[in-house]
Structure 1
């Protein structure tokens, strides 16, 4: 691949990485702070989703390194680069947590799909595959699970 293609892939992967690290950390925050009648289910779900995001972080950082780039790694760098709004300190109602997580997933999904198409068009099939097979599929599944909790929490 050309240097220009690699540079673009590294930049887009670092953006997905920053957003994924932020989402990962939001899951842990909500895991610790969830309250209410669905506490146990959400506590366990948030931790399970956190672990899946940990795996994505590793895959994204490794792909960046494979391409010869340098992956973002420190909290300050992530905070500067992420597009996901920082949640407030303290505890929020479970439905707010769920909606906040779905919004973050949606941001990642939109960007990952766009960047996968660009990587494919540029001939970077490895980045395309990572974004579609891992990032998109994991995030879609997690949105589905979160959305089902919102349906269950809504009055009929």
Structure 2
């Protein structure tokens, strides 16, 4: 099919390629009252947390789908709820990177290169192993978020500090508590 050179044509201009207008790992200047150093540091730290959060979201969805056993229903619902909360964090963290003038990590292949969360087996593990894997991922993110929050506070980036403390850390701690309580060794029914 021939395309028209008419500028009012409704034919989409497909298969376009273009040069990069901003490299990953750079920040552009926005009038935010923050130094270049503060914005660059925050974007680097946030992108690492973003990568791990995207992996944690994926783990939640995987474990939600393959959950087994007598607590299937409760855990199936809980893991899906937690996945939704992690997905909200992914968007919030990515938007903060963009707000600071950076480039948010979005390609799953790039996420896999940057994440510190170990890859799970392709198959199905026992429920306690799945929950332990989620707890370990949470702890990894929480350690990084606590350190990043302290450093961003030192650099005067109150917005990033607030996001890390009030959303990433508080959500992670609460979800960890809910998961850990499922690993307490108590009988389902007492005689």
TM-score, length-normalised on structure 1?
Answer: 0.97
CA offset digits 1:62-112 (Å, max 9, x no partner): 000000000000110100000000101011111000000000000000110
Choose between structure 1 and 2: higher helix proportion.
1
Separation in 1 of the partners of 2:73 and 2:44?
38
Please say if residues 30 and 46 of structure 1, whose CA atoms lie closer than 8 Å, have aligned partners that are also in contact.
Answer: yes
1:70 corresponds to: 103
**Structure 2 regions of 5+ residues with no counterpart?**
1-33
Which residue matches 2:132?
Answer: 99
Where 1:104 maps in the other structure, the secondary structure is helix
Q: CA RMSD in A?
A: 0.8
TM-score by length of 2: 0.79
Match of 1:52?
85
- Structure 1's unaligned 5+ residue stretches are none
The alignment of Structure 1 onto Structure 2 pairs a total of residues equal to 154
Separation in 1 of the partners of 2:103 and 2:145? 19
Q: Does 1:5 align with 2:15?
A: no
Helix, strand or coil at the partner of 1:150:
coil
Give the equivalent residue in structure 1 for 2:74.
41
Question: What aligned pairs does 1:130-149 form with structure 2 within 5 A after superposition?
Answer: 130-149=163-182
Q: Separation in 2 of the partners of 1:60 and 1:103?
A: 20
Cα distance in 2 for residues equivalent to 1:155 and 1:28: 26
CA apart distance, 1:155:
4.6
Structure 1's consecutive aligned runs of 4 or more residues displaced over 4 angstroms after TM superposition are: none
